[in-house]
Structure 1
Amino acid sequence: MYAVLGKIEFEVASGITGMEQSSTADWAEHLLIQGKPLLEWIGDGLDELKFSMQLHPWLGDPEVRLRTLREAKSKHEPLAFVLGSGEYVGAFVITDISNTPRRTSADGRLYSSNVQVSLREYAGPFTPKVVKAGLIDSAVQSTTAAKIATPALISKLAPALTATQQVVGYARQAGTMIQQAKTIYDAVKNFNPMTLLTQAPQLAALAERALGPIGGLTEAASFIREGQDIAQLGQSLYGSVSGARSSLSPLDLGNVADRFETSGNYITQAYDRLDGASTRLTGLAAQVITRRA
């Protein structure tokens, strides 16, 4: 599941957890000489949202994404908030950000993180950029309904590009396997040969499991418009991950250090390539969320 705040797209592991939404109403109190005060409704207060989200490295460096979120707060501008279901919640400003790292490397690099964000409703003029060229069928482009272009209408008219959904899903699965493999490699690469021998089967198994989603990614990319770069990404990932797997066989105490390092280099290569494509993959994921693909 995903959530989008402005142009910042996040993976949410199990939906938005611990989400709190508060709505208030403002009432004026008029004192009386005798008796209890009378209340007069003035208007509704601003809604507030508090929620947690999880940053994943396959969509980009969590440190960079956290910095992007903080930069968005510092711009003091309202942002559109869209849930993973496609529901447009409204325009909000960021009032508070806190970060709890979940996994880091030995040198302190952030692998994954839980981020808590507080938002407050923005009631001023705001127009989310929802309509894109080519989104509405040409048969209805000149109609009044097309000019209104409400989110509900757009949702009904937008074509269902299941291939794009498959690309996003396969990339997510492959990224999870590659990240786990890299975590194992980084954690034990400097250990003794006996330890490397015990960890090598797990590293090889993760590489094997990643090959299926990578193959699916490559195939699905051939069915989306301008998907050549994604298909090429899939092919390069397949080569790197295949190299990581084959490097771990056969193994013994004499060759395990060199073979483990070679396999880790292939895994790191795949991780870097997937990380380099994070902007492209994020764009595809955002299309799925906003029901444009």
Structure 2
Amino acid sequence: MYAVLGNIEFDLISYFDGLEQRSGSDFAEHGRIGGKPVLQFVGDKLDEIRIDLVLHAAYCQPDEELQKLQAARLQHQALAFVLGNGDYKGRFVIAELQSTGRQTDRSGSLLAVEAQLSLREYGGDAPPKPKPALAKAAASLPAGKLKLPAGLERFKADIAGLAKTVAQVKSVVGKVKTVINTARELRQLAGRDPAAALEKLPGLLKEVQALAPGLQVSGEQMAKFEQYSKLAGDAVRVGQSLQQAKLNMTAMGRLLAGTQAGQVLDKLAACEEINGRSEVALRELAEPLAGLAAKAAVRRILR
């Protein structure tokens, strides 16, 4: 994840194409008789950020991603903007969304879109700076007195654990998508050359059988975050989708095991129904998973 705006993630490889940030200051100009005018600092301008995105059907659903951005704009709310390294940039509103379709299919569905997202800082008071006396007093304390309380130490560990679990889930989801695509490619091959498809089938079966344990572990890791009230809803939804994907992959493995020469096309065709259920599970998982990634980025996992 390169950055997150609210609960919207921007991936450096698949979506993100550039970021432009503009900052400035306001100065009042005072005229002087017989001399040049002088400037007086008034205040800083609101920061503005423009994000360039490239959405392609090869790695996402361009229509759905645009609708997600449009829905966020129409909420007219300030959203936290955080880079993937945890650098909090502040709260921003979506001031403008522009999109240009570059490629469509025969039915008019978008295949490739270039989009520009204009963000404007929401404003507000900066967080108060520590008082000099307090900072001086803290500096004089022994190192042992400066340790974080046990609860905060656990909080830091849980933040790292959530980010790691989200990354783990994304990885296993990517593998499920690969299996779905491979099964469909083999089905097309089986229609032309059943023998060639049968030869490649063991490789697909191996990938399918390896997925179930990974989905199980990811679900167990995600369940640990159901104890936090701010995460429980999303964590439960992700866990349910992972469980459904696991059941689907297990069913596909049983279906393909022991396939004979004359069964290749029929069994791969039967896999399509399983693939459809898996895609539904992955779509239902996407939104809560993005929400968890956003909360990890802005450190919002406390009860």
TM-score by length of 2: 0.66
Aligned to 2:117: 117
- Alpha-carbon spacing, 1:94–1:223, altered in 2? closer, same or farther (3 Å): closer
Q: Partners in 1 of 2:106 and 2:176 — Cα distance?
A: 18
Q: Partners in 1 of 2:171 and 2:205 — Cα distance?
A: 16
CA deviation vs aligned residue, 1:152-201 (integer Å, no higher than 9, x gap): xx987835225534432232112112223334555675663428828756
Contact kept, 8 Å, 2:242 with 2:281, in 1: the verdict is no
What pairs with 1:1-293 in structure 2 (closer than 5 Å)? 1=1, 3-6=3-6, 8-14=7-13, 17-30=17-30, 36-52=36-52, 63-99=63-99, 115-123=115-123, 158-161=155-158, 163-185=161-183, 189=187, 192-194=191-193, 197=197, 200=201, 203-204=204-205, 206-208=207-209, 210-225=211-226, 231-251=239-259, 254-293=262-301
Q: SS of 1:219's equivalent?
A: helix
Higher deviation after alignment, 178-187 or 214-223? 178-187
TM-score by length of 1: 0.67
Aligned to 2:140: none
Q: SS of 1:291's equivalent?
A: coil
Contact kept, 8 Å, 1:48 with 1:120, in 2: the verdict is yes
Among all aligned residue pairs of Structure 1 and Structure 2, give the percentage whose two residues are the same amino acid.
Answer: 28
Which has a greater percent of helix?
2
Q: SS of 1:51's equivalent?
A: strand
Alpha-carbon offset, residue 62 of structure 1: 5.7
Q: SS of 2:247's equivalent?
A: helix
Consecutive unaligned residues in structure 2, runs of 5 or more: 128-150, 228-234
Aligned to 2:142: none
Alpha-carbon offset, residue 246 of structure 1: 4.2
Contact kept, 8 Å, 1:218 with 1:235, in 2: the verdict is yes
Runs of 4+ in structure 1 off by over 6 angstroms are: 54-57, 100-114, 154-157
Alpha-carbon offset, residue 20 of structure 1: 1.6
Alpha-carbon offset, residue 70 of structure 1: 0.9
- Alpha-carbon spacing, 1:232–1:257, altered in 2? closer, same or farther (3 Å): same
Q: Quick check: which has more Rg, 1 or 2?
A: 2
- Alpha-carbon spacing, 1:205–1:27, altered in 2? closer, same or farther (3 Å): farther
Q: Which letter does structure 1 place at the counterpart of 2:9?
A: F
Contact kept, 8 Å, 1:222 with 1:231, in 2: the verdict is yes
Higher deviation after alignment, 96-105 or 74-83? 96-105
CA deviation vs aligned residue, 1:72-101 (integer Å, no higher than 9, x gap): 323444332222333321122212324478
Q: Which letter does structure 1 place at the counterpart of 2:155?
A: A
Q: Partners in 2 of 1:175 and 1:208 — Cα distance?
A: 14
What RMSD, in angstroms, separates the aligned Cα atoms of the two structures?
A: 4.3
CA deviation vs aligned residue, 1:13-62 (integer Å, no higher than 9, x gap): 459652221111223445667665543433322211122457799xx966
Higher deviation after alignment, 60-69 or 38-47? 60-69
Q: Partners in 2 of 1:95 and 1:51 — Cα distance?
A: 12
- Alpha-carbon spacing, 1:113–1:176, altered in 2? closer, same or farther (3 Å): farther
Q: SS of 2:226's equivalent?
A: coil
Alpha-carbon offset, residue 223 of structure 1: 3.3
Aligned to 1:132: none
Alpha-carbon offset, residue 214 of structure 1: 0.9
- Alpha-carbon spacing, 1:81–1:237, altered in 2? closer, same or farther (3 Å): same
> In the comparison of the two structures, how many residue pairs are matched?
264
